[in-house]
Amino acid sequence: MGKEFKKKYMHPTRRKLLDMVKTGEYDKNTTIGYSKAKETHKVGDVWEDEHNKYEQKEGYVVKTGKNSEAFSDVRKYLNEKQQCSNKDCKTIKKSSKDKTMIEKGGYCIDCTIDREHAIRVAGVYDEYASYKVWTRMIIYGKAKIEQYNQAILDVKPYYEYINEDGSTEKWELPQSVESTKKEIQELIDSGNKEIEEIEEKRNLAFEKLRDNNMEHYL
């Protein structure tokens, strides 16, 4: 009688746990809870759990995602990439063409026109245009040479490819590995030589722009 009395007035959670231990039966709808020790924080304290970051303010807690700062930086960077580099830009609403111009040269259409007009007045527009073209050629050429350098490392007597149907296709080099590497190296050497020649031309264009105080338009 005493045991039944004690069980009758036992806390519901404890009573369910006792029944589970005694009978060996588990009710899937039964939830055994626990009380987590209350944490205390001072104003300015910052802490984290698996998913979120918290900061104690005066009378409340600010909760943010762990990656919120990184996402904020990315959004800020992308927003800056769509802004005209001219601090005095008067184009309030940027069109899609403006954004394209900003991506290519850093300035909206109106600011680009104003800048290029000043360059034409100074008589160095050809050098300005050539400098930009040669810069793109150098960047492209160096990227191709990096690909060739990697290709030399990857050369082997044959290659195997798996088709969509699961079959395997084997392709063999038409010549030796040594001969193939030699041809690729020749492409690298000639490419480096061309880049050096273009860099010399670009340097001459830059010097003329600098002589006319126009290098800051690049």
Per domain, the residue ranges of the chain are 41-81, 123-217
Sign of the torsion formed by the C-alpha atoms of 147, 151, 152 and 153: positive
The β-bridge partners of 12 are none
Kindly report, residue by residue over 204-218, the tens digit of the pLDDT.
Answer: 999 999 999 999 888
Sign of the torsion formed by the C-alpha atoms of 80, 86, 89 and 93: negative
**Contact predicate 84/94, CB 8 Å:** yes
Q: Indicate the residue type of 81.
A: K
**Contact predicate 89/109, CB 8 Å:** no
pTM score:
0.57
Q: Give the list of residues 6+ apart from residue 199 with CB closer than 8 angstroms, or none.
A: 134, 138
Kindly report, residue by residue over 21-76, the tens digit of the pLDDT.
Answer: 556 555 555 554 444 556 677 888 888 777 777 888 888 888 777 666 667 777 77
How does DSSP classify residue 166? S
